Amino acid sequence: MDGYDKGSGGGPAVPDEPGPAAERRASAEQVTSAEPSGGVRSRPTDGAPSVDESGPEDGPEPEDGPESADRPELADEAEPQVRVGIAGLKLGYQIAAACALAVVAAAACVHIGMLFLHVAPSNTVTKQHGDVVDDWIYPEFEQNWKLFAPNPLQQNVAVQARAELRTADGAMRTTDWYELSAQDGAAIDGSLLPSHTQQNELRRAWDFYVGSHDAKNRPVGLRGQLSERYVRRIAYMRLDREAPGGKGDKIANVQLRSKTTNVPLPKWSEEKISTKPSYRLLPWWPVKPGDLPLSEGESSARSVRGAPGTASSATTHRPVSPTKGIAR
């Protein structure tokens, strides 16, 4: 037998001999080279040891190491929770803060309830405890919203004042009426930023007086006396600013009155009302030291009491200047 025959032990077979085995080997090598490298084991060829091209085998991750910092559940267990607000205080401070909040909430509820009873129509509670409500509201929280009034105010109320002057020769002279409300309205009209005094001082003072006096101008309680002094002082200061007298004249008495006129109805209304004004005349009020500005009032009070240190009880009060008024 020839030593080079196929399958004999006499020598190697011819390597380039075509056949089915060679074709199968070539196709296997092509498939292996075409497969992706990630996680695929190449088929061993010609008895060569197999090599894992995907790298080291995947195993369980270590619990401790740099990778544990990227895991949120491990980070939360490591860091303590930070409490904010009242929960972050100690127990004693938490109790104190809770008590303070309870007191504030209770005071707010009481205040809202008092305001509601003040603006609400007359009811059983206000009839029995009206004095308590008034003591809570006045004077800081006074409300005049007319919240439950079915009809708004439909009248124009103007306050007028005049003075009785004592002239230099001792005679008395009465001035004409000064339209104080009209002066405030003219100052407000066209002004972008009208003052609070021009808008509300005289109006609120008159409402204060009317609400604390009866129809015969008699004061009702201490608030009536206070409102009388307040509106009298405003009238004196306004008249003194107008300088109604001549040189040497002094304002001895002041008098106020209100002029109430109904607002004209629209043309389409069939209601009939009177547009004739009605007046409420107040009595003459003498000008007292408390009605004067602070410096003048103190000087006049010292002269009346005859306090030591004054030159004369008759000369310490400086006369009213018709052009400049009292020094303020």
Cα 24 to Cα 10, 14, 46, 62, 230, distances in angstroms? 26, 17, 13, 45, 121
Q: pLDDT class for 160, splitting at 50, 70, 90?
A: very high
Is-cis flag, bond preceding 139, omega within 30?
yes
Q: In this predicted structure, what is the pLDDT of residue 311?
A: 37
Q: In this predicted structure, what is the pLDDT of residue 70?
A: 55
Helices (H) and strands (E) in the chain, counts: 9, 6
* Mean predicted confidence (pLDDT) in 94-103: 93
Q: Which of 49-58, 121-130, 139-148, 285-294 has the lowest mean pLDDT?
A: 49-58
Q: pLDDT class for 1, splitting at 50, 70, 90?
A: very low
Tokens coding 153 = 């105010």
Q: In this predicted structure, what is the pLDDT of residue 30?
A: 59
Contact by Cβ (8 Å): 138, 160:
no
Nearest to 159 by CA among 198, 206, 214, 216: 206
Nearest to 251 by CA among 174, 305, 327, 324: 174
pLDDT tens for 189-199 read 888 888 888 88
* Mean predicted confidence (pLDDT) in 87-102: 89
Nearest to 83 by CA among 72, 93, 71, 73: 93
DSSP H helices, 45-172, are 72-78, 91-119, 124-137
With a cut of 60, say whether residue 310 has pLDDT above it.
no
How does DSSP assign 38-74, residue by residue? TT-BPPP-TTPPP-BTT-SPP-PPPSSSGGGGG-HHH
pLDDT tens for 224-283 read 989 999 999 999 999 988 888 878 888 999 999 999 999 888 888 888 888 899 999 999
Contact by Cβ (8 Å): 161, 237:
no
pLDDT tens for 15-37 read 455 555 556 666 555 555 555 54
Round to whole Å and give the CA distance between 257 and 210. 11
Q: In this predicted structure, what is the pLDDT of residue 256?
A: 95
Summary mean pLDDT of the chain: 74
For the ranges 129-143, 284-298, 310-324, the one whose mean pLDDT is highest: 129-143
Q: In this predicted structure, what is the pLDDT of residue 323?
A: 33
With a cut of 90, say whether residue 150 has pLDDT above it.
no
Q: In this predicted structure, what is the pLDDT of residue 315?
A: 33
DSSP conformation class of 165: E
Amino acid letter for position 70: D
Three-state DSSP class for residue 85? helix
Give 253's Cβ-side CA count (13 Å radius): 11
**257 φ, ψ (degrees, to nearest 5):** -150, 155
Q: Which of 28-32, 51-55, 118-122 has the lowest mean pLDDT?
A: 51-55
Q: In this predicted structure, what is the pLDDT of residue 83?
A: 76
Q: In this predicted structure, what is the pLDDT of residue 119?
A: 83
